[in-house]
Structure 1
Amino acid sequence: MDPPTGPDADANLAKIRLVKRWELFLAPDFIIGGAPKCGTTSLHQMLDQHPDIWIARNELYFFDMDDPIAHGDFLEVHGNDLSWRDPEDPTFQDWYRSRFAEAPNGSLIGEDTTTYLMSDVAAHRIKAADQNVKIIFMLRDPVKRAFSQYWHLLRSGRTHLSFERALSQEPSIILGSTYAPALREFRDALGAARVHVVLFEEFKTNQQEVMDGVTDFLGLAPVSVGAIDTWHNKTKYPAKMKTLLRLNRVGRLLVRYRYKRHFGGDVRLWSRIAHKAYQHWFRFVARRILTQDHPPSEMQARTRAYLTRHLSDRNAGLSALLGQDLSQHWPGFSQ
């Protein structure tokens, strides 16, 4: 009997080959996979205080390290020669395993990388590495999340543009708020029972109930939120917007080199100098500029109207997917 042919057969063969390439790799027990600016840092810190959990300290960016949308700074171009980080490279797989080396025996091991949700490659790589891994996503009003990510890019020196200009230059602002297609992909890859979704708005108002849901999902005993330090990574805003925009024209170059050092191994003099300059930037320069608790300006009404409609359409069917009316939490959301 001849083997099946056609697009479906080719896709299945590609998945089999992917699993073969990852079959000796061990993934953590759970992953916080996004979205950025949805409270994931606070959830990370709360889970880290659970006695039965050990979670890697920083975001690892492993399963999507070669994704040019999520991590353009990880790509390097010299002339016309492109180089990138390959998660199937044994060197990087060893690096990833080493992030969990300090985990005590018997602990539930986790990692936190908020870009996995927006990556088109992460879901099937995670499944190929370990189809039993569980993944947690935190979602937020997509318009507010997009605006919050812009301020994050601004305060971290990664853009010098206005919000409206950044929408066309920084694809992660829109993709980070495109939840529905990514959730479907992760559910298809891992199974709906292994994907847990938390709404940022519910997390803010009822942390105990949300944490009980997360620990139950992970198969762990509940913990009292009252005994846990619960809010982390609060955004600070510039007192003088124009000053920060000017400084970021230089600062963004330092940030690029900082991200290139994420996986280690770059010991070039210029890279070391740039890393030191980056540390100085955020310890001394940015601290003197980012002093406000609220943004210096609100989103333009026309921009908000555009994003409300566009991001509703991008997330078509999300309310049905999650089994709740999201317009109750996200004003103007119509899907």
Structure 2
Amino acid sequence: MPLPDFLIVGAPKAGTTALHAGLAAHPDLYLSPVKEPKFFLTDGPPPTRGGPGDAQTYREHVWRRADYEALFDAAPPGAPRGESTPFYLHDLSAQSRIQKAIPEARLIAVLRDPVERAHSNWAHLWAAGLEPIGDPVRACAAEERRVKDGWAAFWHYTGLGLYGEQLQHLYKLFPEEQILLLRYRDVRDDAAATLDRICAFLGVRTGVIDTIPRENVTAHVPDTAATRVVQQVLRTGSRVGGYAPRPLRRAASRPFLSLLQRGQRPRRPLTPEQRERLLPYFADDIALLQEVTGLDYSDWLAPR
């Protein structure tokens, strides 16, 4: 059956887009042309409402089985097929759906310092004009209400970083030898060795690819009165144009995004005070992660 042999299952804002692009250059692998189909996130059609921009995102889900299988039709015979939906690790129901459909699948998870991941997640949506709260600490504090209101998983800044809970569930469904854990810093700083680890895990030739491109790099967008005006236009447009064709939506939003992200200044790091306020969301789960994996992630508890 034309289903994937491997999946990059997480985490968002941990280099999965770049990793997908890097692996796609390997002649022995086949990566889906739609990088993030999200097929296993639902049993049927995705929701139609949620937070700002969610209606547009839900329309992009490849949720019909025939459409999902068609993503892998062009794979050469014998080539391992893969896709990259970084929300699968966070969604425990998605994990179960994967196990039921492709129990022999190999799963790759990239884990990033959860505080840094949450900040990058917030910065991504802020720079896209969708996040209405101009401070990541206050945005994380609003998460519980947003979850109750049905906002999509990408708004779960802290929930997406609870890797201990997520992996504890995943290891109940899949044997350890089918799961490869990577650290974001290795994907970023040691691309060649990381790609060789993945290729060995997937059973294809090592030493063939050694580059992971920079993808989804978020610019710094200052919180100013002008920024707020442009963001309000983008959020209004996401509601009004949520059901418009994707090319039309992109064309309409492009000039406003260019204005918002002009200059492409590097994203500013969290202050020590912000990091200290966000760490309590993750401290217990980091301890669980170390227990579940037997690996040391204590550096994530340190100040920066």
Question: Is residue 2:109 matched to residue 1:137?
Answer: yes
- Partner residue, 1:235: 218
CA contact (8 A) 2:234 2:256 kept: no
Q: Deviations over 1:14-64 (max 9, x none)?
A: xxxxxxxxxxx7531000111011111111111100111111132111111
Indicate the residue corresponding to 1:106 in structure 2: 78
Partner of residue 245 from structure 1, selected from 228, 244, 255: 228
What TM-score, normalized to structure 2?
A: 0.81
Cross-structure match for 1:7: none
**Residue 132 of structure 1, CA deviation:** 0.3
In 2 relative to 1, CA 91–198 (structure 1 residues): closer, same or farther, beyond 3 Å?
Answer: closer
- Aligned in 2, Cα 1:107/1:224: closer, same or farther, shift over 3 Å? closer
Q: Compared with structure 1, are the counterparts of its residues 53 and 225 closer, same or farther at alpha carbon in structure 2 (3 Å cutoff)?
A: closer
CA offsets per residue over residues 103-150 of structure 1, 9 Å max, x none?
Answer: 222221101101111112111100000100111010111100100000
Identity of paired residues, percent? Answer: 25
Corresponding residue for residue 193 of structure 1:
177
Q: 2 CA distance for matches of 1:234 and 1:300?
A: 20
Match of 2:28 in 1: 52
Number of residues of Structure 1 aligned to a counterpart in Structure 2: 279
Asked whether the 8 Å contact 1:135–1:194 carries over to 2, the reply is yes
- 2:44 and 2:64 map into 1 onto residues whose CA distance is 15
Normalised TM-score (structure 1): 0.74
Q: 2:294 is aligned with what amino acid?
A: G
Q: Which residue of 2 aligns with 1:16?
A: none
CA distances 1:144-194 after superposition (whole Å, capped 9, x unpaired): 010000011112232121223321145510111111111111121121111
Which of 48, 60, 63 does residue 75 from structure 1 map onto?
Answer: 48
| Structure 1 pair 111–285 and aligned structure 2 pair: CA distance change class (3 A) | same
Change (3 A) 1:229 1:91: closer
8 Å Cα contact 2:42/2:94 also seen in 1? no
8 Å CA contact 1:27, 1:133 repeated in 2: no
Q: What SS class does the counterpart of residue 105 from structure 1 fall into?
A: coil
Q: Secondary structure at the match of 2:180?
A: strand
Map residues 241-280 of structure 1 onto 2, 5 A cutoff. Answer: 241-255=224-238, 271-272=244-245, 276-280=248-252
Distance 2:205 2:290 in 1: 29
Letter in 2 for 1:42: A
Match status 1:218 vs 2:202:
yes
Which amino acid in 2 is paired with 1:31?
A: L
In the aligned structure 2, how far is the partner of 1:164 from the partner of 1:106? Answer: 48
Q: Is the 8 A contact 2:44 2:64 kept in 1?
A: no
Give yes or no for contact 2:115–2:279 (8 Å, CA) kept in 1.
yes
Which SS does the other structure have where 2:95 is aligned? helix
The equivalent residue for 2:137 is 164
Q: 2:11 aligns to what?
A: 35
- CA displacement 1:279-322 (0-9 Å, x = unmatched): 3313x221233133323x54354432122122121333212333
Query: Conserved in 1, the CA contact under 8 Å of 2:115 and 2:278?
Result: yes
Larger radius of gyration: 1
Query: Do the aligned partners of residues 186 and 257 (structure 1) sit closer, same or farther apart at CA in structure 2, a change above 3 Å counting?
Result: farther
Q: Determine which of 183, 190, 198 is the counterpart of 1:206.
A: 190
User: Quick one: distance in 1 between partners of 2:265 and 2:13?
Assistant: 16
What secondary structure does 1:127 align onto? helix
Note if 1:62 corresponds to 2:43: no
Taking the aligned partners of 2:271 and 2:175, their CA distance within structure 1 comes to 40
User: Structure with the greater relative contact order (CA < 8 A, sep ≥ 6): 1 or 2?
Assistant: 2
The answer on whether the counterparts of 2:286 and 2:298 sit within 8 Å (CA) in structure 1 is: no
1:265-286 alpha-carbon deviations (Å, 9 max, x no partner): xxxxx624x861433313x221
Give, in whole Å, the separation in 2 of the partners of 1:312 and 1:242: 36
Q: Secondary structure at the match of 1:110?
A: strand
Alpha-carbon distance between aligned partners in 2 of 1:229 and 1:305, rounded to the nearest angstrom: 31
CA distance in 1 between counterparts of 2:231 and 2:281 reads 29
The answer to whether the 8 Å contact 1:34/1:138 transfers is: yes
Structure 1, unmatched stretches of 5+, are 1-24, 78-84, 261-269
State the partner residue of 1:6.
none
Once residues 239 and 206 of structure 2 are traced to their aligned partners in structure 1, the CA distance between those partners, rounded to angstroms, is: 40
Is the CA contact 1:180–1:314 (under 8 Å) kept in the aligned structure 2?
yes
